[in-house]
Amino acid sequence: MTDLPPPRTPAGWYPDGVAGRERRWDGDQWTEETREQQDRDDTSPAPAVLVARGVTGFAEIEGSILLYRSKRDRPPLQRIDLHTVERIVVSRRGSAFDVVLVGARGGSRARPSLFSETSLTRSPLTPESEWDAFLEALEAAVARAVPKFRPDDVRRNSRSLPN
pLDDT in tens, 57-105: 999 999 889 999 999 889 999 999 998 988 899 998 899 999 988 877 7
**Rounded Cα gap, residues 31 and 9, in angstroms:** 14
pLDDT in tens, 7-47: 566 677 777 777 778 877 777 778 888 888 776 554 445 45
CATH of the domain spanning 51-154: 2.30.29.30
**Rounded Cα gap, residues 62 and 68, in angstroms:** 11
Strand order in the sheet with 51-53: 51-53, 58-62, 65-69, 78-81
26 neighbors 63 (Cβ within 8 angstroms): yes
How much is the pTM?
0.61
138 neighbors 97 (Cβ within 8 angstroms): yes
For the four alpha carbons of 123, 10, 12 and 21, in that order, the dihedral sign comes to: positive
Give the DSSP H or E segment for 77. Answer: none
